[in-house]
Amino acid sequence: MREEVETGARPLEFKMRFHWLGRTGVCALTCLCLSIGATATSPIDVKALAAAVDAHYNGLGSLEANFTEVYRGAGMDRTESGTLWLKKPGKMRWEYRSPIEKLFISDGKVVWFYVPADRQARKQPAKKLEDLRSPLAFLLGKTKLEKELRGLSLAPDVAPVEPGDVVLRGAPQGISDQISEVLLEITPDHEIRQISLQDVDGSTTKYRFSDQKADVAVANARFEFQPPAGTEVVEGLEP
Protein backbone atom coordinates (compact mmCIF):
# COMPACT_ATOMS: atom_id res chain seq x y z
CA MET A 1 0.00 0.00 0.00
CA ARG A 2 2.86 2.36 0.85
CA GLU A 3 4.49 1.76 -2.52
CA GLU A 4 1.20 2.38 -4.28
CA VAL A 5 0.75 5.75 -2.62
CA GLU A 6 4.34 6.84 -3.23
CA THR A 7 4.53 5.95 -6.91
CA GLY A 8 0.93 6.71 -7.76
CA ALA A 9 0.89 3.49 -9.77
CA ARG A 10 -2.64 2.13 -9.83
CA PRO A 11 -2.93 -0.26 -12.79
CA LEU A 12 -6.53 -1.08 -11.88
CA GLU A 13 -7.45 2.57 -12.31
CA PHE A 14 -6.00 2.47 -15.81
CA LYS A 15 -8.03 -0.64 -16.52
CA MET A 16 -11.18 1.14 -15.41
CA ARG A 17 -10.19 4.24 -17.27
CA PHE A 18 -10.44 2.37 -20.53
CA HIS A 19 -13.42 0.45 -19.37
CA TRP A 20 -15.53 2.01 -22.12
CA LEU A 21 -12.77 2.33 -24.61
CA GLY A 22 -12.67 -1.38 -25.44
CA ARG A 23 -16.09 -1.62 -27.03
CA THR A 24 -15.19 0.75 -29.75
CA GLY A 25 -12.50 2.49 -28.26
CA VAL A 26 -12.88 6.86 -24.80
CA CYS A 27 -17.32 7.20 -25.85
CA ALA A 28 -18.91 10.47 -26.96
CA LEU A 29 -20.46 13.36 -25.15
CA THR A 30 -22.94 16.13 -24.95
CA CYS A 31 -23.18 19.14 -27.08
CA LEU A 32 -23.50 22.63 -25.68
CA CYS A 33 -26.26 24.27 -27.65
CA LEU A 34 -26.15 27.32 -25.43
CA SER A 35 -25.48 30.09 -27.93
CA ILE A 36 -24.29 33.49 -26.83
CA GLY A 37 -27.63 34.99 -27.74
CA ALA A 38 -29.71 32.42 -25.88
CA THR A 39 -31.72 33.68 -22.94
CA ALA A 40 -31.36 32.35 -19.43
CA THR A 41 -34.72 30.61 -19.73
CA SER A 42 -33.99 28.92 -23.07
CA PRO A 43 -34.17 25.14 -22.66
CA ILE A 44 -31.11 23.09 -23.56
CA ASP A 45 -31.75 20.25 -25.96
CA VAL A 46 -29.70 17.41 -24.46
CA LYS A 47 -30.12 15.20 -27.53
CA ALA A 48 -28.85 17.94 -29.84
CA LEU A 49 -26.05 18.70 -27.41
CA ALA A 50 -24.91 15.09 -27.35
CA ALA A 51 -25.12 14.84 -31.13
CA ALA A 52 -22.94 17.92 -31.55
CA VAL A 53 -20.24 16.54 -29.25
CA ASP A 54 -20.39 13.19 -31.04
CA ALA A 55 -19.96 14.94 -34.38
CA HIS A 56 -17.03 16.98 -33.11
CA TYR A 57 -14.99 14.00 -31.90
CA ASN A 58 -16.12 11.56 -34.60
CA GLY A 59 -14.60 13.92 -37.14
CA LEU A 60 -11.13 13.85 -35.56
CA GLY A 61 -8.28 11.63 -36.67
CA SER A 62 -6.02 12.58 -33.77
CA LEU A 63 -6.04 14.70 -30.65
CA GLU A 64 -3.48 16.21 -28.29
CA ALA A 65 -4.40 17.71 -24.92
CA ASN A 66 -2.98 18.53 -21.53
CA PHE A 67 -4.71 16.68 -18.70
CA THR A 68 -5.04 16.78 -14.95
CA GLU A 69 -6.24 13.70 -13.10
CA VAL A 70 -7.60 14.04 -9.57
CA TYR A 71 -8.38 10.98 -7.46
CA ARG A 72 -10.05 11.13 -4.05
CA GLY A 73 -10.88 8.03 -2.07
CA ALA A 74 -9.52 5.19 0.06
CA GLY A 75 -7.83 7.75 2.28
CA MET A 76 -5.95 9.31 -0.64
CA ASP A 77 -6.11 12.67 -2.38
CA ARG A 78 -3.87 12.60 -5.44
CA THR A 79 -3.41 15.01 -8.35
CA GLU A 80 -1.37 14.12 -11.44
CA SER A 81 -0.87 15.84 -14.78
CA GLY A 82 0.69 15.42 -18.18
CA THR A 83 -0.06 15.24 -21.89
CA LEU A 84 -2.40 12.92 -23.78
CA TRP A 85 -2.22 11.90 -27.45
CA LEU A 86 -4.95 9.90 -29.18
CA LYS A 87 -4.98 8.61 -32.72
CA LYS A 88 -7.43 6.43 -34.58
CA PRO A 89 -7.75 3.54 -34.50
CA GLY A 90 -7.19 2.75 -30.81
CA LYS A 91 -3.82 4.42 -30.26
CA MET A 92 -3.17 6.39 -27.10
CA ARG A 93 -0.33 7.78 -25.05
CA TRP A 94 -0.81 9.15 -21.52
CA GLU A 95 2.46 10.80 -20.54
CA TYR A 96 2.41 11.67 -16.82
CA ARG A 97 5.01 14.20 -15.74
CA SER A 98 3.87 15.35 -12.29
CA PRO A 99 4.36 14.46 -9.51
CA ILE A 100 6.28 11.49 -10.98
CA GLU A 101 6.83 10.15 -14.48
CA LYS A 102 4.47 7.39 -15.64
CA LEU A 103 3.37 6.14 -19.03
CA PHE A 104 0.20 4.43 -20.20
CA ILE A 105 0.47 3.62 -23.89
CA SER A 106 -1.18 1.48 -26.54
CA ASP A 107 -0.50 0.95 -30.24
CA GLY A 108 -3.95 -0.59 -30.61
CA LYS A 109 -2.58 -4.10 -30.10
CA VAL A 110 -0.69 -4.03 -26.81
CA VAL A 111 -1.24 -1.87 -23.74
CA TRP A 112 1.73 -0.93 -21.54
CA PHE A 113 1.85 0.69 -18.10
CA TYR A 114 5.36 1.86 -17.16
CA VAL A 115 6.70 3.63 -14.06
CA PRO A 116 10.43 4.40 -14.52
CA ALA A 117 10.99 4.71 -10.76
CA ASP A 118 9.76 1.12 -10.29
CA ARG A 119 11.88 -0.24 -13.15
CA GLN A 120 8.85 -2.31 -14.07
CA ALA A 121 6.56 -2.40 -17.11
CA ARG A 122 3.20 -4.16 -17.23
CA LYS A 123 1.69 -5.26 -20.53
CA GLN A 124 -1.59 -6.70 -21.73
CA PRO A 125 -3.10 -7.42 -25.15
CA ALA A 126 -5.42 -4.58 -26.12
CA LYS A 127 -8.06 -7.10 -27.19
CA LYS A 128 -8.48 -8.05 -23.54
CA LEU A 129 -9.83 -4.56 -22.97
CA GLU A 130 -12.48 -4.86 -25.68
CA ASP A 131 -15.24 -5.64 -23.19
CA LEU A 132 -14.24 -2.68 -21.05
CA ARG A 133 -15.27 0.87 -21.45
CA SER A 134 -14.02 4.25 -20.44
CA PRO A 135 -15.57 7.69 -20.39
CA LEU A 136 -12.47 8.67 -22.31
CA ALA A 137 -13.91 6.85 -25.29
CA PHE A 138 -15.67 10.16 -25.80
CA LEU A 139 -12.38 11.58 -26.93
CA LEU A 140 -11.88 8.92 -29.56
CA GLY A 141 -15.24 9.65 -31.12
CA LYS A 142 -16.09 5.97 -31.43
CA THR A 143 -19.49 5.76 -29.80
CA LYS A 144 -22.63 7.76 -29.03
CA LEU A 145 -23.19 9.47 -25.72
CA GLU A 146 -26.83 8.60 -25.41
CA LYS A 147 -26.11 4.92 -25.95
CA GLU A 148 -23.26 4.84 -23.45
CA LEU A 149 -24.84 6.94 -20.71
CA ARG A 150 -28.24 5.82 -19.53
CA GLY A 151 -30.60 8.63 -18.56
CA LEU A 152 -28.35 11.34 -20.02
CA SER A 153 -29.61 14.66 -18.66
CA LEU A 154 -28.57 18.08 -17.45
CA ALA A 155 -26.92 18.38 -14.04
CA PRO A 156 -28.00 21.86 -12.89
CA ASP A 157 -26.90 21.09 -9.34
CA VAL A 158 -23.24 20.75 -10.41
CA ALA A 159 -21.26 23.96 -10.96
CA PRO A 160 -19.07 23.86 -14.10
CA VAL A 161 -15.35 24.60 -13.95
CA GLU A 162 -15.84 27.47 -16.41
CA PRO A 163 -18.91 29.74 -16.71
CA GLY A 164 -20.83 29.03 -19.90
CA ASP A 165 -20.09 25.31 -19.87
CA VAL A 166 -22.86 22.75 -19.48
CA VAL A 167 -22.65 19.71 -17.19
CA LEU A 168 -24.43 16.47 -18.08
CA ARG A 169 -24.89 13.33 -16.03
CA GLY A 170 -25.67 9.74 -16.83
CA ALA A 171 -25.20 6.17 -15.66
CA PRO A 172 -22.61 4.18 -17.64
CA GLN A 173 -23.85 1.11 -19.47
CA GLY A 174 -22.22 -2.17 -18.54
CA ILE A 175 -20.13 -1.02 -15.56
CA SER A 176 -22.78 0.13 -13.08
CA ASP A 177 -21.28 -2.33 -10.59
CA GLN A 178 -18.14 -0.17 -10.54
CA ILE A 179 -19.11 3.34 -11.59
CA SER A 180 -22.45 4.73 -10.48
CA GLU A 181 -22.41 8.08 -12.25
CA VAL A 182 -20.52 10.02 -14.92
CA LEU A 183 -20.50 13.82 -15.14
CA LEU A 184 -19.40 15.51 -18.36
CA GLU A 185 -18.60 19.19 -18.68
CA ILE A 186 -19.04 20.53 -22.22
CA THR A 187 -17.68 23.79 -23.60
CA PRO A 188 -19.51 26.10 -26.05
CA ASP A 189 -17.22 24.63 -28.75
CA HIS A 190 -18.57 21.13 -28.00
CA GLU A 191 -15.32 19.98 -26.42
CA ILE A 192 -15.20 17.86 -23.27
CA ARG A 193 -13.50 19.94 -20.62
CA GLN A 194 -13.90 17.48 -17.76
CA ILE A 195 -15.07 13.93 -17.07
CA SER A 196 -15.92 12.94 -13.50
CA LEU A 197 -16.41 9.33 -12.40
CA GLN A 198 -18.28 8.46 -9.22
CA ASP A 199 -17.29 5.00 -8.06
CA VAL A 200 -19.73 2.81 -6.16
CA ASP A 201 -17.23 2.71 -3.28
CA GLY A 202 -17.51 6.49 -2.88
CA SER A 203 -14.23 7.45 -4.54
CA THR A 204 -14.11 9.96 -7.39
CA THR A 205 -11.78 10.41 -10.34
CA LYS A 206 -11.76 13.53 -12.49
CA TYR A 207 -10.02 14.04 -15.83
CA ARG A 208 -9.72 17.68 -16.86
CA PHE A 209 -8.53 18.55 -20.37
CA SER A 210 -7.05 21.79 -21.69
CA ASP A 211 -5.32 23.09 -24.82
CA GLN A 212 -7.00 20.48 -27.02
CA LYS A 213 -5.44 20.35 -30.48
CA ALA A 214 -7.41 18.57 -33.18
CA ASP A 215 -5.86 16.52 -35.99
CA VAL A 216 -2.27 17.09 -34.92
CA ALA A 217 0.49 15.37 -36.87
CA VAL A 218 1.60 12.52 -34.63
CA ALA A 219 3.71 9.59 -35.85
CA ASN A 220 2.67 6.01 -35.09
CA ALA A 221 6.07 5.55 -33.44
CA ARG A 222 4.86 7.72 -30.53
CA PHE A 223 2.48 4.92 -29.57
CA GLU A 224 5.13 2.20 -29.54
CA PHE A 225 7.01 1.13 -26.43
CA GLN A 226 10.18 -0.84 -25.78
CA PRO A 227 11.06 -1.49 -22.11
CA PRO A 228 14.45 0.06 -21.26
CA ALA A 229 17.29 -2.30 -20.40
CA GLY A 230 16.98 -3.64 -16.87
CA THR A 231 13.21 -3.20 -16.74
CA GLU A 232 11.15 -6.09 -15.36
CA VAL A 233 8.26 -6.99 -17.69
CA VAL A 234 5.09 -8.31 -16.03
CA GLU A 235 2.08 -9.74 -17.86
CA GLY A 236 -1.24 -8.14 -16.96
CA LEU A 237 -2.12 -4.61 -15.84
CA GLU A 238 -3.34 -5.74 -12.44
CA PRO A 239 -0.73 -6.25 -9.70
Q: Locate the domains of the chain by residue range.
A: 2-235
- Residues 144 and 42: beta-carbon distance below 8 Å: no
pLDDT tens for 90-148 read: 899 999 999 999 999 999 889 899 999 999 999 988 877 643 445 566 777 777 899 88
209 three-class SS: strand
Question: Which of 149, 31, 22 has its CA nearest to residue 89?
Answer: 22
Class of domain 2-235: mainly beta
Beta bridge partners of 10: none
pTM for the model stands at 0.78
- State the pLDDT at residue 42: 61
Which of residues 43 and 226 earns the better pLDDT score? 226
User: DSSP secondary structure string, 26-77?
Assistant: ----------TT--TTPPP-HHHHHHHHHHHHHT-SEEEEEEEEEEEETTEE
